[in-house]
Structure 1
Amino acid sequence: MLTHRASARLLARTSLLAAAAFTLAQPAFAQDAAEQAAEEGIGTEIIVTAQKRAQSLSDVSLSVSAVSTETLAANNTVTLEGLQTLVPSISFGNDFNFAKLFIRGIGLSSSLPGVDPSVALHVDGVVVSLAQAQLGSMFDLERVEVLRGPQGTLYGRNATGGAVNLITAKPSDTLEGYVRQTLGGDALLIQTDAAIGGPIAEGVRGRLAVQRIKRDGYGVNEFTGNEIDNANQWSGRAHLEFLPSDSVNILLTGEYHREDDRSLAIKFREVSFPGVLNDNIAANDGLSALGQRLNADGSQARFATNPRNVATNFDPINDREQWALTAAITVDASDAVSIKSLTSYRSFDAIFFHDFDMSTYLGYPLAQTNALRSSANHWQPVFQHQFSQELQANVDTDKFHGVFGLFYLDEQIEVENHIGLDVLTNTDPFRVQFDGRLDVKTWAAFANLTYDLSDQFSVKAGARYSWEERRLRNQAGLGSAALNRLVLDPMQWDATKSWDDFSPSLGFEFRPNDDLMLYGNWSRGFKSGTAEIGSTRKLSATQPLPFVDPEKVEAFEVGSKYSAGALSANLAVFFQRLKNGQFSLTRAIPTPPFFTSTLTNAAVSEAYGAEFDVLWRPSREFTLNASVGYLHSEFTKFSASDPLDPRLFAPGAVEADLIKDLSGNATRMSPKWSLNLNPTYSVGMNNGGEVQFGSNFSYRSKQFHTEFNDDRMAQDGYIQLDANIRYKHSDGHFSANAWVRNITNELVYAGSFAVSTSRAIGGTLMPPRTYGITLGYDF
């Protein structure tokens, strides 16, 4: 295990060697590439707004990847999970209907309402604060930008791991649009995408885009016979742009997304312990054991026969609706100064349901008269709305470039948790109900400055001051069908806490020639403290308030950006140290035996690694996108008890005696290696049309889903292969694209967690092999 100082020395040495090697190796190849590109009339420049101003990707002194809409469409990538096959050092997980993005080993490590993501998601500059609201479809995009490493200065709270920006397609000066119809199988997919935009009147432009996805399920509930992990979605977006003068731009946007299906189902698989008898056998039928899985007739429940199936008496429910209204007003005060106001309101309303008891037992009288059994069904309505306001001033002179800003967010989240409890025979079944409301108010002031000391050397400095207040009101109690909601000895509390933070950054840029930039950055990031909505942790006035401390990260990064003609290549080497990482731990309670989730702070974790990506277009016919990432992320100080340790349920067990030192263990969702290769080759047809052959090779090494590094709760290394063949007619209007994702049908778990004393693991799966054809008409 490396110490902080040793890691920093390793970073410095590796960075110098990498930068020197890259600088020395590039001149001859660069000259050839540039000359060839000039002759072919091609280039690799990509414009991004990662630093809240338009820049060429090669001029952004950060580790940034940009994914074009053409790349997303090639294999019908419509969700965030697809980004991990295109971008290094990013991992995607989901469970309990939460999106869990990880960048460089930092991400959302909790499925408890009220805990914010550690990777910020923005749509056209507006933050999507709720993790459950980040699972919507990506459609009608111009590009996706992925920023790796803490982005505390410009993006503020909840960007300790990095940020993902979705940039939507905007109205243009000419009438344009498209209609695309997709038909796919094995699970029948019918998908329609359409957009139209252009001038409406003098100084007024608009764009309207819609998407409809209807797909059969990837699995089946073997008890009900209904499909699960299906899709039934509607999405729409409208832009209305006003140009009252050459210096004023007003963009009004409305968005809507609706889902009503049985997606994101949690699957169960059995685990075993050395020396512990497996209870999933017929010989155990009729035995009265607390937590044993039973069917309605008292027989022993079995796991589903297919890992993509479930066998429960209730189907999962994923019923969500979200919408947003945004106003972006930009005024060019002078040639060097522009002012931007970004005002947005977002609303999210959902009902989720999961059946956790792994049986067809309804929770009513059993055949046996002395049975005490578990009926764990989780019904969760969630409502969230947020109002955000950001003011930006962009200053761009010959030598000075700066972004100054103010930010305000007012957010409210309301959650109900209805969970079935153990049931006594011939009695009315009880349930436990945890209700809560979280009110968040935050504001920040920030600045990000670059000054050119010469044509070759620039210095950077940034800072953000943030203040955040959270008020949490919870109530919990027991209820029953007969008594509706009888609150027995209710647990209620109302608590408020606030935090403030100063996150600075420093850096430099050095350009030894027109094609190469070397850079270095030091930065800090901050995610505010919080508490669980519906928590039962504060059961009396003598217990401490259930807030966890803020999550903070400090990072160092050096890198290089090279762009000349047909070739662009980017290298980044980094070291980061996370303090007080917010983790949701599954704790075992021996008496009576059950599991509960508790939000806590992991003491310290450290990570170092490197990323290299290249875009090469040696000819009009051939393009290669490639990237590789190496990540070593581990805890340096953290202790906890393992919920899958069978000793926790031994007679007289004391959890405190089984605490494990997790120092040296890998952090969650942190594969050491990530590799992506995306070559495309185009062939001209005699009729003037074009056929493009594309493929994508993606590799992720082993990653653990918990801090205990248990192989039973991990995803082994895997390769995902995608391919497509696209035909485009000579008139530029008609196109046909045949695609297939996950060709080898890899079974990949997006997340895992301990379920109950039934010795079972719950988890969600990435999609299986999918394929289809998309017919399009562009105008």
Structure 2
Amino acid sequence: MLRDQKGVTYTAAGIVGLGLSTLAGAQDLPGALEETVVTATKREASAQDIAVSITAIDGESLARYNQDTIESITAQTPSMAYSEAAGEAQIYLRGVGTNIFGIAADPSVGVHMDGVYQGRTQLALNQFLDIERVEVLRGPQGTLYGRNTTAGAINILSRRPGDSWEGYVRGGIGSWDRRELSAAAGGPISDQFSVRIAARHMQDDGYTENINPVAGVDVDDNDIQQVRGSVLFKPNDRVRLTLIADGTQSEDGNTSVRPRDNLGAAEVLGAAPPPSFGNIRNDLQSFNEWETSGLTAELEWELNDAWTISGVSGYRDFNGEFLFNTDGTEIDITRTQYAYDTDQQSHELRLAFDDGGRFRALVGAFYLKEDKEQALGLVRAGGRPLFASSPGSRGSFVIPSTNETEASALFSEVTYGITERLDLSLGLRYSKETKEDTSSVGAVFDLEGLNSSMDPLVFSNRDDKESWSDTTPKVGFEYRATADLLLYLSWSEGFKSGGFNSLDANPSYDPEELSAWEAGIKSDWFDNRLRINASAFHYDYQDLQVSTFINNLTLTTNAAEATIYGMEGELIAQPVPALEVGLAFSLLDAEYDEFSDRLGNNPDGTPRVLDLSGNRMPNAPEMKATLHANYLHQLGDGSSLILSGRYMYQSRVYFSQFNENEVAQASIGLVDASLSWASANGLWEITLAGRNLTDEDYFHTGVRFTSTSDADRDPLGIGSALGYPAAGRSWGLNFQRSF
């Protein structure tokens, strides 16, 4: 039957996009949109009843259409953008995000898995497995979520053991020799214990073909294994304890990259341009290998009908290593190596009061500890020399670093019903963070980088320790004009931790601060056949952490200010029970008020510093809109078909603060479609799906690298422009057997 998505457009991200959560039982088609229960406010509530801009996608839709990563939900989420570089996920909401690398830098979107904060950006690459729901909260979440949620938060919730035995087996094939098999099963083993286990294997050859006949490997490919087990203990009706263990292993040949101008040293030395967008000439045995594992413990204890204690503790481990063909050609110019090792533990305890009356309150405490190690190797094999004073030299920069982080917070949020229709919410969070960071910069005069047996020539060392604290408030009003119409107005602040320039010897930088006003509406009309949600927002963004040029040094510091304002809307309609149509859109104005940065040198050799005031911020498209439609048809034998389609339009996106066309993606329009069949008893389901049906060529991110450019062609030293291609047209055939 048609399943409520709270105004969310249904997507096709892994292979397609759309739809309906259940195809069986078409004879019971509802006459109205249904509710979606979310936990975005640390309590269960209808998404239509909370004063938060939120997009929620149920797990059945995610699995059916191969939406298996955070990137895959980007198209259907207003104001959301995603990039991936150097093995790190870069998530943006409403123009707020970061492209700063290093273990002492933090994201602007907080990702939480089963309530556990995922401290490293690499953890946002983890694939979805047996997911109940994904919630994307847009706007600063400084009170309930705290650290590093200036842009918003993403909650990923796995399926838990149920009161009866059930499960499924899924399989699929598709473009690029994709093979996938997953299964899950769970249920009670006694009156007090229930269990669930899920596993998945996915493999493909990648959407880019390496046509270099001499050497190299597949790129953009995947080889992923995942497993998760959970145990639910219910000693009585008021206590629930859930224990979760999970692990993921991923191996691939890294990603493809293409030159976008003629400044590269490889082109001067005879590198041939690939014949098509889907080809690359990769001369390296590049790779990207990582694994992560974790333990989670969740407690919910209802002391009585009004008071509840809840908490979550988690441990996560991440290890990764990769080798990247930085110039993207068959000529050995430069390569990039990374190695990561992260251990993290976190704990959160909450006490909530809600007796169904006018007053509701939540108080809590949070603690996080991270131990991180990182090593960067930059190998220069040709083109520009390693040192300007030694034109013939070749070699490698080697930059190891460590970082220890401790973060703690106390928070509270109370809601009081001033009248039967008007609620006032007040929130406050005090956060404190301490980071201790070490880093050294050295060089070895061979082409082995991190694998060199030589002792590096060390240029600089740093061992620093810094602490920061901040108080983030929130004030909100919610007015329920009718049972189906909610109006809200809020003012809140977000806090993002300070950090260090882990990949060089430069000093630390301070936290970012964002002050946000937001007004919104959530409404259902015509007996819940039409849903309209909309919001408008204004951000005052101070002390942005950016890479800039100060005192003859290029470093990350708090050198920018910005003003962001925009609006978002989500509309979903069910004019007849079998048809659903929807529209999600965002309009965004995100520009720097103050910002100067260096782009190469002037002809006389002095730094070329540009005033970027008025430039658009990276990954902040002015307009984004997604239109979708789903039609369900019941066959005579009781089985059902659903035809779905989606069109997503996105205006030009700049990938850097300099707003260059060579490091940008022009406006694009993407078309997805699918056809699904479900048996009358709901046990069998088959889906044929297609993504990017018009086979658009586009980049998901772009950069400039000075290490890949030619000194004669690039006399200003701005670096050669390179783009990371996105996937072209694809198809997938998936099946599921439930039990």
Match of 1:238 in 2: 229
Task: Tell me the CA shift for residue 41 of structure 1.
Answer: 5.1
1:207 pairs, out of 196, 200, 209, with: 196
Matching of residue 654 in structure 1 with residue 622 in structure 2: no
Aligned pairs for 1:16-31 (under 5 A) are none
Equivalent of residue 598 in structure 2, options 641, 651, 658: 641
Letter in 2 for 1:194: A
Equivalent-residue separation in structure 1 for 2:363 and 2:200 (angstroms): 36
1:438 aligns with 2:400: no
- The answer to whether the aligner puts 1:600 opposite 2:600 as a matched pair is no
* Letter of the structure 2 residue corresponding to residue 762 of structure 1: L
Distance 1:623 1:206 in 2: 36
| Residue in structure 2 matched with residue 709 of structure 1 by the alignment | 659
Helix, strand or coil: the match of 1:58?
Answer: helix
Name the aligned partner's letter for residue 656 of structure 2.
T
Runs (5+) with no aligned partner, structure 1: 1-37, 273-277, 281-291, 363-374, 538-545, 590-595
Contact 1:111 1:584 in 2 (8 A): no
After superposition, what is the alpha-carbon deviation per residue over 1:21-58, rounded to whole angstroms, capped at 9, x for unaligned? xxxxxxxxxxxxxxxxx995543211111111000111
Distance 1:671 1:535, change over 3 A: same
Say if 2:447 is the partner of 1:488: no
Distance 1:304 1:112 in 2: 32
SS for the counterpart of 1:82 is: helix
Of residues 515, 538, 549, the one that matches 2:510 is 549
Whole-Å separation in 1 of the counterparts to 2:64 and 2:193: 32
Which of 667, 671, 675 is 2:625 aligned to?
A: 675
Query: Residue 472 in 1 paired to residue 437 in 2?
Result: yes
Give the superposition deviation at 1:615.
2.7
Please state if 1:506 is matched with 2:475.
yes
> Hey, what does 2:220 align to over in structure 1?
229
Give per-residue Cα distances to partners, 1:677-716, cap 9 Å, x unaligned.
2211110111000001111211111111111111111111
- Report the secondary structure of 1:107's partner residue: coil
User: Residues 335-391 of structure 1, C-alpha deviation per residue, up to 9 Å, x if partnerless?
Assistant: 0111012110000000011122455455xxxxxxxxxxxx42222110111100000
Q: Does 1:722 align with 2:672?
A: yes
Q: For residue 307 of structure 1, give the secondary structure of its aligned residue in structure 2.
A: coil
Aligned counterpart for 1:293 among listed residues 266, 269, 293: 266
Structure possessing the higher radius of gyration over alpha carbons:
1
Give the AA of the match of 1:642. Answer: L
Matched residue, 1:288? none
Match of 1:43 among 24, 33, 43: 33
Query: Deviations 1:565-585 (Å, cap 9, x if unpaired)?
Result: 233221111101111112245
1:390 corresponding residue in structure 2: 348
Contact 1:327 1:344 in 2 (8 A): yes
Alignment of 1:449-598 (within 5 A): 449-480=414-445, 484-537=453-506, 546-563=507-524, 564-584=527-547, 598=555
Name the CA distance, whole Å, in 2 between partners of 1:489 and 1:726: 60
Using the TM superposition, give the Cα deviation of residue 155 of structure 1 relative to its aligned residue in structure 2, in angstroms. 0.8
Question: In the TM superposition, what whole-angstrom CA distance separates every residue of 1:381-406 from its partner, at most 9, and x where no partner exists?
Answer: 10111100000112112111222110
Separation in 1, partners of 2:210, 2:58 = 37
Answer 1 or 2: which has greater helix percent: 1
Q: Is the 8 A contact 1:100 1:109 kept in 2?
A: yes
2:343 alignment partner AA: H
SS at structure 1 position matched to 2:73 = helix
| 2:582 aligned to which of 604, 616, 625 | 625
Contact 1:74/1:739 (8 A) holds in 2: no
Shift of 1:180: 0.9
Equivalent residue, structure 2, for 1:137: 127
Identity of paired residues, percent? 28
Contact in 2 for aligned 1:614/1:626 (Cα 8 Å): yes
**Matched residue type, 1:431:** S
2 CA distance for matches of 1:130 and 1:39? 43
Equivalent position SS for 1:335: coil
Match of 1:760 in 2: 720
Match of 2:83 among 84, 93, 105: 93
Of stretches 301-310 and 82-91 in structure 1, the one that deviates more from structure 2 is 301-310
Letter in 2 for 1:330: E
In the other structure, the counterpart of 2:285 is: 315
Selected match of 1:697 from 647, 668, 693: 647
Structure 2 counterpart SS, 1:85: coil
**Contact 1:213-1:234 at 8 Å conserved across structures:** yes
Distance 1:59 1:426, change over 3 A: closer
Residue in 1 aligned with 2:208? Answer: 219
The 1:510–1:271 alpha-carbon spacing in structure 2 relative to 1, beyond 3 Å, is: same
1:116 alignment partner AA? D
Partner Cα separation in structure 2 for residue 550 and residue 114 of structure 1: 12
Letter paired with 1:580: D
1:685 maps to which residue? 635
1:380 correspondence with 2:334: no
Paired AA for residue 700 in structure 2: A
Query: How far apart, CA to CA, are the structure 2 residues paired with 1:587 and 1:742?
Result: 43
Letter aligned with residue 566 of structure 2? G
Q: Secondary structure at the match of 1:659?
A: strand
Aligned to 1:195: 184
Q: Which amino acid aligns with 1:764?
A: Y
Q: Structure 2 residue aligned with 1:352, among 304, 315, 322?
A: 322
Q: Distance in 1 between matches of 2:211 and 2:104?
A: 34
| Deviation of 1:322 (Å) | 0.3
Distance 1:489 1:631, change over 3 A: closer
Q: Secondary structure at the match of 2:72?
A: helix
2:298 corresponds to 1:338: no
Q: Distance in 2 between matches of 1:262 and 1:567?
A: 46
- Distance in 1 between the 2:128 and 2:491 partners? 32
Match of 1:664 in 2: 614
In structure 1, distance between residues paired with 2:164 and 2:416 = 38
Distance 1:326 1:430 in 2: 44
How does 1:362-381 map onto structure 2 within 5 Å?
375-381=333-339
Cα 1:313–1:460, aligned 2, differ >3 Å: closer, same or farther?
same
**Matches of 2:98 and 2:393, distance apart in 1:** 38
For residues 533 and 93 of structure 1, do their structure 2 counterparts lie closer, same or farther at Cα, with a shift above 3 Å needed? same
What's the counterpart of residue 165 of structure 1?
155
Q: Report how many aligned residue pairs link the two structures.
A: 687
Could you tell me which residue of structure 2 aligns to residue 615 of structure 1?
A: 572
**How well do the aligned residues superpose, as a CA RMSD in angstroms?**
2.4
Residue 448 of structure 1 pairs with residue 405 of structure 2 = no
Counterpart CA distance in 2 for 1:358 and 1:404 is 51
- Contact conserved, 1:459 with 1:507, CA < 8 A, in 2? yes
Q: Which runs of 5+ in 2 are unaligned?
A: 1-27, 711-718
8 A contact 2:105–2:499 mirrored in 1: yes
- The answer as to whether partners of 2:167 and 2:183 remain within 8 angstroms in 1 is yes
Q: How much does 1:429 deviate? A: 5.3
2:623, 2:210 → 1: CA distance?
A: 35
Pairwise CA distance, 1:478: 2.0
Alpha-carbon spacing, 1:531–1:165, altered in 2? closer, same or farther (3 Å): same
Q: CA deviation at 1:210?
A: 1.2
Question: Residue in 1 aligned with 2:144?
Answer: 154
Amino acid at match of 1:570: N
Q: CA deviation at 1:226?
A: 2.8
Q: Distance in 2 between matches of 1:98 and 1:555?
A: 27
**Is the CA contact (8 Å cut-off) linking 2:640 and 2:677 kept in structure 1?**
yes
Quote how far apart the aligned CAs of 1:268 are: 2.6
Q: Secondary structure at the match of 2:696?
A: coil
Per-residue CA deviation, residues 545-591 of structure 1 (Å, 9 max, x unaligned), is x11121110000011111352332211111011111122459999xx
Further displaced range: 215-224 or 735-744: 215-224
C-alpha offsets along residues 75-125 of structure 1, whole Å, 9 cap, x if unaligned? 321111121211111111111111111000001222334211101111111
Confirm whether residue 411 of structure 1 aligns to residue 370 of structure 2: yes
SS of match in other structure, 1:172: coil
